[in-house]
């Protein structure tokens, strides 16, 4: 279950990404890249791809059993290379 509101929807919209694309990227074999230390709660950065093969980074946390997306953006060239190399290694 995803926790969407006007704040996180506005953040992803600024990157021209829809909630549906974020959910797809997290459902189609996402790769956990690292955990961020936030002041209040742990945040996780995932790389994933949509059904239209758009490569995204998604920053999220878990709150009350729901996935709370902080932001999402398209991978840059270096991140795309990292994602593809990880996929080739079977991650």
DSSP 9-37: HHHHHTTT--HHHHHHHHHS--EEEEEEE
Give residue limits of the domains in the chain.
6-88
Q: How far is residue 9's CA from residue 71's CA, in Å, rounded to a whole number?
A: 8
Tens digits of pLDDT across the chain (91 residues): 999 999 999 999 999 999 999 999 999 889 999 998 777 889 999 999 999 999 999 999 998 999 999 999 999 999 999 999 999 999 8
Predicted pLDDT at 50? 96
Predicted pLDDT at 15? 97
Predicted pLDDT at 39? 78
Predicted pLDDT at 6? 97
């Amino acid at each position: 279950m995803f926790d969407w509101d006007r704040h996180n929807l506005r953040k992803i919209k600024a990157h021209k990404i829809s909630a549906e694309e974020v959910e797809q990227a997290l459902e189609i074999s996402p790769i956990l890249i690292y955990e961020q230390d936030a002041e209040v709660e742990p945040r996780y950065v995932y790389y994933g791809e949509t059904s239209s093969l758009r490569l995204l980074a998604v920053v999220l946390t878990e709150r009350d059993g729901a996935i709370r997306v902080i932001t999402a953006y398209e991978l840059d060239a270096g991140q795309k290379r990292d994602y593809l190399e990880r996929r080739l290694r079977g991650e």
